[in-house]
Amino acid sequence: MSPAEKVDPLIADQLQAALLSAVIGREIIVLEQTGSTNDAILQVAFSQGAPVSSLPAVASAKEGPPSLVDEGLVLFAEHQTAGRGQRGNRWESTVGKGLWFSILLRPNIQLIDSGRLTIWAIQAVSDVIRIEFGLDPAIKLPNDVQLSGRKVAGVLVEMRAQHKAPHLAVVGIGINVNQFRGDFPAELQERAISLAMALGRQVHRQNFAVALLRNLDVTYREKFLKAVGAVNSSPAPTTTRDKRAAKFRMA
């Protein structure tokens, strides 16, 4: 049994079943390990339906338009070996102790406006931490969320231009959830914090992920889909897996 399986594993079926009629979360993939979730979700988008295990190492907009992967695909990884943050900084992602995920979007904005997505995502992360745990997070621009002056979460938005179609956006989010101080490299121990460290207890990652995705979905619809038209704002089609709705409460 891997470390990720021993510690509160993320289960894609249960996550997706809790997000009925959502845009964000209409399809969810959980990988045991990947280099970067931003890279992995682009590989899915450009793979024309190939299984994740057979995806190419690098995906580029020059390879042609994305396959019919729905907007709102979410890809989690229990561990990233090459997670990255702003300005190419490395993001430390301890196995099974955080939420490391990316969202595939087509928000009908110009490339120059990608900062709107960053602000939306960090505000959503901050709001959910405040609502679910009673903590007092602070946003540190351009892309961080802090607790007590230490980084608890970060966002990395990357966009790809599309010809005669809404540009493709990937919103990568990393949140320190259940790490202890010793899980961080020595050079980060004074600058990083986890929710568990702030709360003095462990957090149920699956339940937290559901609360966060629900908030991201509602606020994304409000900020980016409201004026696009009824076809884009209609509920996502349900599947057999969608019908197995589960109720979650925060740990």
Dihedral, CA of residue 136, residue 20, residue 71 and residue 43, to nearest 10: 90
Is pLDDT of 4 > 60?
no
Check residue 76 and give its pLDDT: 97
Q: Cβ-count burial of 56 within 10 angstroms (0-12 exposed, 13-18 middle, 19+ buried)? A: exposed
Predicted TM-score (pTM) of this structure: 0.80
Q: What share of the chain is helix, strand, coil (3-state, %, to 5)?
A: 35, 20, 45
For residues 26 and 72, the answer to whether their CB atoms sit within 8 Å is yes
What does the pLDDT look like over 193-233, one tens digit per residue? 999 999 999 999 999 999 999 999 999 999 998 755 433 43
Q: What is the pLDDT of residue 47?
A: 77
pLDDT of residue 118: 97
| Whether residue 246 has pLDDT greater than 90 | no
Write out pLDDT tens, residues 42-60. 998 877 443 343 333 333 3
pLDDT bin (cut points 50, 70, 90) of residue 141 is very high
What domains can you pick out in the chain, each with its CATH number?
3-232 (3.30.930.10)
